[in-house]
Protein backbone atom coordinates (compact mmCIF):
# COMPACT_ATOMS: atom_id res chain seq x y z
CA UNK A 1 0.00 0.00 0.00
CA UNK A 2 3.01 2.31 0.29
CA UNK A 3 5.25 2.88 -2.68
CA UNK A 4 7.61 5.53 -3.91
CA UNK A 5 6.41 7.20 -7.04
CA UNK A 6 7.89 8.71 -10.10
CA UNK A 7 11.31 10.21 -10.50
CA UNK A 8 9.49 13.35 -11.65
CA UNK A 9 8.90 14.08 -7.99
CA UNK A 10 12.52 13.58 -7.17
CA UNK A 11 11.58 10.67 -4.90
CA UNK A 12 9.98 13.06 -2.48
CA UNK A 13 6.51 11.70 -3.03
CA UNK A 14 5.08 8.34 -2.08
CA UNK A 15 1.73 6.76 -2.56
CA UNK A 16 -0.21 5.48 0.44
CA UNK A 17 -3.52 3.72 -0.11
CA UNK A 18 -3.55 5.22 -3.57
CA UNK A 19 -3.08 8.79 -2.33
CA UNK A 20 -0.02 10.86 -3.14
CA UNK A 21 1.82 12.01 -0.02
CA UNK A 22 5.01 13.97 0.18
CA UNK A 23 7.49 12.04 2.22
CA UNK A 24 7.73 14.59 5.03
CA UNK A 25 3.97 14.66 5.50
CA UNK A 26 3.80 10.88 5.50
CA UNK A 27 6.48 10.75 8.19
CA UNK A 28 4.68 13.39 10.22
CA UNK A 29 1.37 11.60 9.85
CA UNK A 30 2.90 8.33 11.10
CA UNK A 31 3.93 10.04 14.31
CA UNK A 32 0.60 11.82 14.67
CA UNK A 33 -1.09 8.43 14.25
CA UNK A 34 0.84 6.97 17.15
CA UNK A 35 0.02 9.87 19.45
CA UNK A 36 -3.64 9.91 18.52
CA UNK A 37 -3.96 6.15 18.91
CA UNK A 38 -2.66 6.44 22.43
CA UNK A 39 -5.13 9.24 23.14
CA UNK A 40 -7.97 7.07 21.85
CA UNK A 41 -6.88 4.13 24.01
CA UNK A 42 -6.59 6.29 27.14
CA UNK A 43 -9.80 8.23 26.66
CA UNK A 44 -11.88 5.23 25.68
CA UNK A 45 -10.51 3.17 28.56
CA UNK A 46 -11.34 5.95 31.00
CA UNK A 47 -14.85 6.70 29.80
CA UNK A 48 -15.81 3.11 29.07
CA UNK A 49 -14.46 1.86 32.36
CA UNK A 50 -16.35 4.56 34.25
CA UNK A 51 -19.52 3.70 32.34
CA UNK A 52 -19.09 -0.02 32.85
CA UNK A 53 -18.17 0.04 36.53
CA UNK A 54 -21.14 2.23 37.41
CA UNK A 55 -23.67 0.19 35.46
CA UNK A 56 -22.47 -3.38 35.81
CA UNK A 57 -19.37 -3.07 37.99
CA UNK A 58 -20.57 -4.92 41.06
CA UNK A 59 -21.10 -8.11 39.07
CA UNK A 60 -17.67 -7.71 37.56
CA UNK A 61 -15.90 -6.98 40.85
CA UNK A 62 -16.97 -10.02 42.85
CA UNK A 63 -16.98 -13.71 42.09
CA UNK A 64 -20.06 -14.18 44.27
CA UNK A 65 -22.07 -11.72 42.17
CA UNK A 66 -21.38 -13.52 38.89
CA UNK A 67 -24.76 -15.19 38.67
CA UNK A 68 -26.74 -16.71 35.83
CA UNK A 69 -29.42 -14.05 35.69
CA UNK A 70 -28.21 -10.47 36.15
CA UNK A 71 -24.51 -10.83 35.44
CA UNK A 72 -25.10 -12.73 32.22
CA UNK A 73 -27.85 -10.35 31.11
CA UNK A 74 -26.45 -7.01 32.15
CA UNK A 75 -22.78 -7.31 31.33
CA UNK A 76 -23.06 -7.70 27.54
CA UNK A 77 -25.77 -5.04 27.29
CA UNK A 78 -23.70 -2.52 29.19
CA UNK A 79 -20.48 -3.55 27.47
CA UNK A 80 -21.60 -3.39 23.84
CA UNK A 81 -22.14 0.38 24.00
CA UNK A 82 -18.68 1.87 23.58
CA UNK A 83 -17.59 -0.83 21.12
CA UNK A 84 -20.52 0.13 18.89
CA UNK A 85 -19.77 3.84 19.10
CA UNK A 86 -16.06 3.36 18.54
CA UNK A 87 -16.74 1.00 15.64
CA UNK A 88 -18.73 3.79 14.01
CA UNK A 89 -15.87 6.24 14.27
CA UNK A 90 -13.08 3.88 13.31
CA UNK A 91 -14.97 2.11 10.53
CA UNK A 92 -16.85 4.98 8.98
CA UNK A 93 -13.96 7.44 9.08
CA UNK A 94 -10.93 5.17 8.80
CA UNK A 95 -12.20 1.74 7.65
CA UNK A 96 -10.61 0.17 10.68
CA UNK A 97 -12.56 -2.79 12.08
CA UNK A 98 -10.94 -2.69 15.52
CA UNK A 99 -13.30 -0.49 17.54
CA UNK A 100 -14.83 -3.24 19.65
CA UNK A 101 -11.58 -5.06 20.36
CA UNK A 102 -9.87 -1.82 21.26
CA UNK A 103 -12.62 -0.67 23.62
CA UNK A 104 -13.05 -4.03 25.35
CA UNK A 105 -9.32 -4.68 25.69
CA UNK A 106 -8.87 -1.17 27.12
CA UNK A 107 -11.66 -1.85 29.57
CA UNK A 108 -10.18 -5.16 30.64
CA UNK A 109 -6.66 -3.84 31.04
CA UNK A 110 -8.03 -0.86 32.99
CA UNK A 111 -10.02 -3.24 35.17
CA UNK A 112 -7.02 -5.48 35.86
CA UNK A 113 -4.90 -2.48 36.85
CA UNK A 114 -7.61 -1.23 39.20
CA UNK A 115 -8.19 -4.69 40.67
CA UNK A 116 -4.49 -5.02 41.39
CA UNK A 117 -3.85 -1.59 42.87
CA UNK A 118 -7.27 -0.92 44.38
CA UNK A 119 -8.90 -4.16 45.38
CA UNK A 120 -5.80 -6.25 45.98
CA UNK A 121 -3.09 -3.91 47.24
CA UNK A 122 -5.23 -1.34 49.00
CA UNK A 123 -8.16 -3.37 50.25
CA UNK A 124 -6.50 -6.77 50.65
CA UNK A 125 -8.91 -8.76 48.47
CA UNK A 126 -7.51 -11.92 46.89
CA UNK A 127 -7.74 -12.25 43.10
CA UNK A 128 -9.96 -15.30 43.47
CA UNK A 129 -12.67 -12.87 44.60
CA UNK A 130 -12.09 -9.92 42.27
CA UNK A 131 -11.06 -11.11 38.81
CA UNK A 132 -12.78 -9.24 35.97
CA UNK A 133 -14.97 -11.02 33.46
CA UNK A 134 -13.71 -11.77 29.96
CA UNK A 135 -15.39 -10.08 26.99
CA UNK A 136 -12.68 -10.13 24.34
CA UNK A 137 -13.99 -13.10 22.28
CA UNK A 138 -17.32 -11.31 21.79
CA UNK A 139 -15.51 -8.13 20.79
CA UNK A 140 -13.41 -9.98 18.22
CA UNK A 141 -16.54 -11.47 16.72
CA UNK A 142 -18.17 -8.04 16.60
CA UNK A 143 -15.16 -6.61 14.77
CA UNK A 144 -14.81 -9.55 12.40
CA UNK A 145 -18.49 -9.39 11.43
CA UNK A 146 -18.13 -5.68 10.67
CA UNK A 147 -14.98 -6.36 8.69
CA UNK A 148 -16.61 -9.11 6.66
CA UNK A 149 -19.96 -7.45 6.04
CA UNK A 150 -19.10 -3.76 6.24
CA UNK A 151 -22.66 -3.24 7.33
CA UNK A 152 -23.70 -1.89 10.71
CA UNK A 153 -27.11 -3.51 10.69
CA UNK A 154 -25.81 -7.02 10.06
CA UNK A 155 -23.11 -6.35 12.65
CA UNK A 156 -25.79 -5.35 15.14
CA UNK A 157 -27.83 -8.48 14.52
CA UNK A 158 -25.14 -11.15 14.14
CA UNK A 159 -22.32 -9.46 16.02
CA UNK A 160 -24.60 -8.20 18.79
CA UNK A 161 -26.09 -11.64 19.33
CA UNK A 162 -22.63 -13.18 19.17
CA UNK A 163 -21.26 -10.69 21.67
CA UNK A 164 -23.93 -11.63 24.20
CA UNK A 165 -24.07 -15.36 23.55
CA UNK A 166 -20.29 -15.82 23.74
CA UNK A 167 -20.09 -14.05 27.08
CA UNK A 168 -21.10 -16.89 29.36
CA UNK A 169 -19.20 -19.73 27.65
CA UNK A 170 -16.06 -17.62 27.38
CA UNK A 171 -16.13 -17.08 31.14
CA UNK A 172 -17.15 -20.59 32.08
CA UNK A 173 -13.61 -22.05 31.83
CA UNK A 174 -12.67 -19.69 34.67
CA UNK A 175 -15.93 -19.60 36.58
CA UNK A 176 -16.68 -23.33 36.78
CA UNK A 177 -14.07 -23.86 39.49
CA UNK A 178 -15.89 -21.33 41.65
CA UNK A 179 -19.20 -23.10 41.28
CA UNK A 180 -18.15 -26.36 42.88
CA UNK A 181 -20.44 -27.26 45.76
CA UNK A 182 -19.10 -27.18 49.28
CA UNK A 183 -20.60 -27.79 52.69
CA UNK A 184 -19.97 -25.06 55.22
CA UNK A 185 -21.54 -25.00 58.68
CA UNK A 186 -24.05 -27.57 57.50
CA UNK A 187 -25.18 -25.42 54.54
CA UNK A 188 -24.60 -26.05 50.87
CA UNK A 189 -22.89 -23.15 49.09
CA UNK A 190 -20.65 -22.74 46.09
CA UNK A 191 -16.93 -22.10 46.46
CA UNK A 192 -17.56 -18.57 45.12
CA UNK A 193 -20.17 -17.90 47.80
CA UNK A 194 -17.74 -18.96 50.46
CA UNK A 195 -14.91 -16.84 49.05
CA UNK A 196 -17.22 -13.81 49.17
CA UNK A 197 -18.22 -14.70 52.70
CA UNK A 198 -14.69 -15.32 53.96
CA UNK A 199 -13.06 -12.15 52.65
CA UNK A 200 -15.25 -9.55 54.29
CA UNK A 201 -16.62 -6.56 52.45
CA UNK A 202 -17.60 -4.52 55.47
CA UNK A 203 -20.00 -2.18 53.68
CA UNK A 204 -21.26 -4.68 51.11
CA UNK A 205 -23.16 -7.39 52.93
CA UNK A 206 -24.44 -10.64 51.46
CA UNK A 207 -28.01 -9.42 50.90
CA UNK A 208 -26.79 -6.58 48.75
CA UNK A 209 -25.88 -9.06 46.05
CA UNK A 210 -28.24 -8.49 43.19
CA UNK A 211 -28.31 -12.07 42.00
CA UNK A 212 -30.63 -14.81 40.92
CA UNK A 213 -32.50 -15.71 44.07
CA UNK A 214 -34.32 -18.66 42.60
CA UNK A 215 -35.81 -18.77 39.15
CA UNK A 216 -39.39 -19.70 38.45
CA UNK A 217 -38.39 -22.03 35.65
CA UNK A 218 -34.77 -22.87 35.01
CA UNK A 219 -35.46 -25.07 31.96
CA UNK A 220 -33.32 -27.91 33.14
CA UNK A 221 -30.79 -25.60 34.80
CA UNK A 222 -30.00 -23.70 31.66
CA UNK A 223 -31.07 -20.32 32.88
CA UNK A 224 -27.72 -18.80 31.86
CA UNK A 225 -28.60 -19.51 28.21
CA UNK A 226 -31.99 -17.91 28.63
CA UNK A 227 -30.27 -14.84 30.02
CA UNK A 228 -27.76 -14.90 27.16
CA UNK A 229 -30.52 -15.02 24.58
CA UNK A 230 -32.31 -12.09 26.16
CA UNK A 231 -29.05 -10.18 26.46
CA UNK A 232 -28.46 -10.91 22.77
CA UNK A 233 -31.75 -9.34 21.82
CA UNK A 234 -31.11 -6.21 23.88
CA UNK A 235 -27.54 -6.09 22.59
CA UNK A 236 -28.83 -5.82 19.02
CA UNK A 237 -30.90 -2.79 19.99
CA UNK A 238 -28.18 -1.30 22.17
CA UNK A 239 -25.69 -1.68 19.36
CA UNK A 240 -27.94 0.16 16.93
CA UNK A 241 -28.49 2.95 19.44
CA UNK A 242 -24.82 3.33 20.27
CA UNK A 243 -23.70 3.16 16.66
CA UNK A 244 -25.82 6.26 16.22
CA UNK A 245 -24.54 7.85 19.40
CA UNK A 246 -21.08 7.35 17.92
CA UNK A 247 -22.30 9.00 14.75
CA UNK A 248 -23.75 11.94 16.66
CA UNK A 249 -20.71 12.54 18.82
CA UNK A 250 -18.18 12.21 16.04
CA UNK A 251 -19.93 14.68 13.83
CA UNK A 252 -17.86 17.78 13.20
CA UNK A 253 -20.24 20.57 14.09
CA UNK A 254 -19.17 24.15 14.58
CA UNK A 255 -20.91 27.21 15.89
CA UNK A 256 -20.26 30.90 15.24
CA UNK A 257 -17.83 32.43 17.68
CA UNK A 258 -19.02 35.82 18.86
CA UNK A 259 -15.65 36.65 20.38
CA UNK A 260 -13.63 36.08 17.24
CA UNK A 261 -12.70 39.74 17.00
CA UNK A 262 -10.51 39.14 20.03
CA UNK A 263 -8.22 37.08 17.82
CA UNK A 264 -7.89 39.58 15.01
CA UNK A 265 -10.93 38.56 12.97
CA UNK A 266 -13.57 41.02 11.91
CA UNK A 267 -16.51 41.22 14.27
CA UNK A 268 -19.34 38.96 13.35
CA UNK A 269 -22.65 40.62 12.64
CA UNK A 270 -25.04 40.05 15.53
CA UNK A 271 -27.40 37.24 14.66
CA UNK A 272 -30.78 38.28 13.33
CA UNK A 273 -33.16 37.00 15.96
CA UNK A 274 -36.41 38.11 14.33
CA UNK A 275 -37.21 39.46 10.95
CA UNK A 276 -39.04 42.77 10.90
CA UNK A 277 -42.71 42.47 10.02
CA UNK A 278 -42.48 45.32 7.57
CA UNK A 279 -39.27 45.70 5.56
CA UNK A 280 -37.52 48.89 6.63
CA UNK A 281 -37.17 50.32 3.19
CA UNK A 282 -40.79 49.59 2.30
CA UNK A 283 -41.88 53.10 3.04
Query: Smallest gap, in angstroms, from Cβ of residue 273 to other proteins?
Result: 19
- Residues 58 and 17: their CA atoms lie apart, in Å, by 45
Query: Smallest gap, in angstroms, from Cβ of residue 159 to other proteins?
Result: 10
The residue among 202 and 272 lying less far from other proteins, judged by its C-beta, is 202
Query: Smallest gap, in angstroms, from Cβ of residue 177 to other proteins?
Result: 4
Query: Smallest gap, in angstroms, from Cβ of residue 227 to other proteins?
Result: 12
CB 103 within 8 A of CB 128: no
Query: Smallest gap, in angstroms, from Cβ of residue 279 to other proteins?
Result: 30
List, in order, residues 6 or more apart from 239 with CB less than 8 Å away: 80, 84, 155, 156, 159, 160, 163
Burial of 205 (0-12, 13-18, 19+ CB in 10 A): exposed
CB 167 within 8 A of CB 75: yes
The residue among 140 and 157 lying less far from other proteins, judged by its C-beta, is 140
The residue among 72 and 278 lying less far from other proteins, judged by its C-beta, is 72
The residue among 182 and 276 lying less far from other proteins, judged by its C-beta, is 182
Interstrand relation of 187-190 and 181-184 (parallel, antiparallel or unpaired)? antiparallel
The residue among 124 and 274 lying less far from other proteins, judged by its C-beta, is 124
The residue among 191 and 233 lying less far from other proteins, judged by its C-beta, is 191
Query: Smallest gap, in angstroms, from Cβ of residue 233 to other proteins?
Result: 19
* Direct distance between the N- and C-terminal alpha carbons of the chain, in angstroms, rounded to an integer: 68
For 55-79, letters b (16+ CB in 10 Å) and e give ebbbbbbbbbbbbbbbbbbbbbbbb
Amino acid sequence: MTKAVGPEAGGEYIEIYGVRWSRWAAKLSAQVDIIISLIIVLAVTAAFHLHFMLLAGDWDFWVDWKDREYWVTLTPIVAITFPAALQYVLWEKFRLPIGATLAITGLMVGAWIARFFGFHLWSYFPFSLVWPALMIPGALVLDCVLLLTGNFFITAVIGGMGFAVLFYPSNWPMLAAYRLPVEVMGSLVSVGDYIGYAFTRTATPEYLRFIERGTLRTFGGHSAWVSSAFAGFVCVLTYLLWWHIGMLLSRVTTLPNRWRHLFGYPRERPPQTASPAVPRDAS
